[in-house]
Amino acid sequence: MSTGLLTCVALLGALAGFAAPRVARHFTALPVPRARKAPAGSRARKAPAGSRAGKAPAGSRAGEVAAGSRAGTVPVASGRPGGVAGSPVVARAVPSAAWGASAGAVVFAGLAAALGADPVLPVLLVLAAVGLVLALIDLACLRLPDPLVGAAALIAAVGLTGLAATSGSLGRLLGAAAGAALGFTCHVLLALLPGSRLGFGDVKLATVLGLPLGWLGGSSLTLGLVLPHLLHGVVVLALLAAGRVRRDTPLPLGPALLTGAWLAALAA
């Protein structure tokens, strides 16, 4: 691929990454609940002693959301197994648009440099744009929203089917289906292990990523299945050594799944 075209793809990635944090914030923020109106004819309850008018009592759900909003974080429900039942996971701040633009440029440029004029490149670039949003959401609040994972699945399925139909690559389409099946099987078994912290959002994402990895070939699929867990393990050990987390701290796997798939595609 020429330098000019590679630069254009990198700029396209920067634009996608610039928009990713804004999209991610729609999935990490919860609206502050509105106060219920008192029934007609009933007396309004007095505010608890020591509380100011217009503020939610300390310890209430509305108070938690308000407090989180002031601190730049919003409590959200955890969809991961192993979390404390009924306890919210506090969303971390989504990285800035500048950070997203830098990550998008690197991801897009890497794919373009590795795949060149391969017809599958546009499909992978669109998937990468969705993946950037998913990674930011998972880092912020340990969630992989079904609408975004479903959109990635639709993009991969329609894009690869179209490529197979136009190029006569039926064998590669079967490889993509096998990759999705293998990704699902491996990760659902991991999720069902006793004490596993692997969520079914991670299982769904691994299944979707198995489609393009299976299309690229067996070596890419193998790397895409193994690398995420190696990367995740290294990060966890580094955080434990630095005292940033404890052994029971829930950590996102989605970014590792996406990074591992990207590295596997670069090695295709």
pLDDT (tens digit per residue) in 38-81: 555 544 444 444 444 444 444 443 444 344 433 344 444 334 43
The answer to whether residue 60 is domain-embedded is no
- pLDDT bucket at 94, cuts 50 / 70 / 90: confident
Structural domain boundaries enclosing 14:
3-27+93-266
The answer to whether residue 61 is domain-embedded is no
How many separate domains does the chain show?
Answer: 1
DSSP 8-state assignment for residue 198: -
Look at residue 128 in the predicted model and tell me its pLDDT.
Answer: 97
In DSSP notation, 173-190 reads HHHHHHHHHHHHHHHHHH
pLDDT (tens digit per residue) in 123-153: 999 999 999 999 999 999 999 999 999 999 9
The answer to whether residue 111 is domain-embedded is yes
Match 């659902």 to its residue by tokens.
188
- pLDDT bucket at 114, cuts 50 / 70 / 90: very high
- pLDDT bucket at 95, cuts 50 / 70 / 90: confident
Evaluate if residue 88 carries a pLDDT over 60.
no
Q: What angle do CA 166, 172, 173 make, to 5 degrees?
A: 70
Q: pTM of whole model > 0.85?
A: no
Look at residue 93 in the predicted model and tell me its pLDDT.
Answer: 74
The answer to whether residue 53 is domain-embedded is no
The answer to whether residue 227 is domain-embedded is yes
The answer to whether residue 70 is domain-embedded is no
What lies within 8 Å, CB to CB, of 196 at 6+ separation is: 81, 82, 190
Mean pLDDT of 210-230: 96
